[in-house]
Amino acid sequence: MQSIKNSLAGFWKYRYLLQNLITRDFKLKYRRSVLGVAWSILNPLLTCLVMFLVFDSIMRGLRGEGIPNFAGFLIIGQLLFNFFRESTSMAMESVLKNAPLLRKVYIPKYIFPMEKVCFAMVNCAFSFIALVIVFVITWTPVTFATAWMALYPLIMLFFFSLGIGLLLSALYVFVRDIMHIWEVFCTLLVYASAIFYDPETLSGIMQKLIHINPMYWFITAFRSCVLWGEGLTLSMVVVCFLCAAVSMTVGVIVFKKNQDKFVLYM
């Protein structure tokens, strides 16, 4: 209990550092680019356009028929998955990348993975403008009564990614192979997260496999609120919460157990 209280006090003390690091990353990301922040919106929009063209022409068969408003369906999956991939891979490298600093000054080490996940969330928030643009172009009606509920899967996804980011950043200090494994794993996960197809049209086993993927739940819950206007079902609420809770518990425990050894391996 005392240690939880101490970590919270430490976190409060370093909240400005968190804020400054996010600002720094944001500034450096768009330094020397002509369009600057506009890329946060253009990038997902263009990526989505490419995927839309591919799945609407060459791979039309793969996409499956009967997805109304495919563009909106696609961009939601794309944005949320991007957030997950970006936040976890940046968080993974964050502790080691700040080795010069951590070897010299005492700072709570979890600040770095946390900052990367927050930074990815800021980017994600900007890219929601791309989502709005797609909705306007395709003239999709939005039910505001359910749309605000999309915050729930988004917040749960934040904690889910934070837990995994903490776990990966701790492991990465000791075993550098993790980076390559995670990259390949994410590529696999793209195809298992129902980003560009409707899993209900798949065979029984495939459907079950996709249902054990947490990303499927976050994406589907978000679509249900924003795109389909159906809000959240009980199973969505429970599954999203459990995924976030398990990920956070494992991440925090592994990170905390190993953080004193980090400096000796950096």
Partner 1 sequence: MNQQQPIISVDHVSMRFNLAKEKHESLKEYFVALLHGGVRFDEFFALSDVSLDIMPGDFYGLIGLNGSGKSTLLKIISGVYKPSAGKVTVRGTIAPLIELGAGFDMDLTARENIYLNGTVLGYTPKYIDSKFEDIVEFSELREFLDVPLKNYSSGMVARLAFAVATMTKPDILIADEILSVGDFLFQQKCEKRMAELMSGGTTVILVSHSIEQIERMCNKVAWLDHGHLRRNGPTAEVTAEYKHFEKKDSMKADHA
Binding residues for partner 1 (CB under 8 A):
13-14, 16-17, 19-21, 24, 27-28, 31, 100-107, 260, 263-264
Smallest distance, partner 1 to C-beta of residue 28, A: 6
The secondary element (H helix, E strand) that includes residue 212 is: none
Q: Which is nearer to partner 1, 17 or 46 (CB)?
A: 17
| Residues 6+ positions from 183 with CB-CB distance below 8 Å | 89
Smallest distance, partner 1 to C-beta of residue 56, A: 41
The secondary element (H helix, E strand) that includes residue 199 is: none
Smallest distance, partner 1 to C-beta of residue 90, A: 16
Tokens of 18: 């968190």
Q: Which is nearer to partner 1, 211 or 261 (CB)?
A: 261
Burial of 105 (0-12, 13-18, 19+ CB in 10 A): exposed
Smallest distance, partner 1 to C-beta of residue 208, A: 35
Under 8 Å between Cβ of 245 and 229: no
Smallest distance, partner 1 to C-beta of residue 74, A: 35
Q: Which is nearer to partner 1, 102 or 130 (CB)?
A: 102
- Burial 157-184, CB ≥16 within 10 A → b, else e: bbbbbbbbbbbbbbbbbeeeebeeebee
- Which residue in this structure is represented by tokens 């776990």? 167
Smallest distance, partner 1 to C-beta of residue 16, A: 4
Q: Which is nearer to partner 1, 24 or 60 (CB)?
A: 24
Length in residues, the chain: 266
Q: Which is nearer to partner 1, 13 or 60 (CB)?
A: 13
Smallest distance, partner 1 to C-beta of residue 175, A: 10
Q: Which is nearer to partner 1, 176 or 208 (CB)?
A: 176
- d(CA 27, CA 20) in angstroms, rounded, equals 10
Q: Which is nearer to partner 1, 106 or 139 (CB)?
A: 106
H-type alpha helices, the chain = 2-13, 15-30, 38-56, 60-63, 70-97, 99-102, 111-137, 144-147, 151-174, 178-191, 204-211, 214-226, 234-258, 262-265
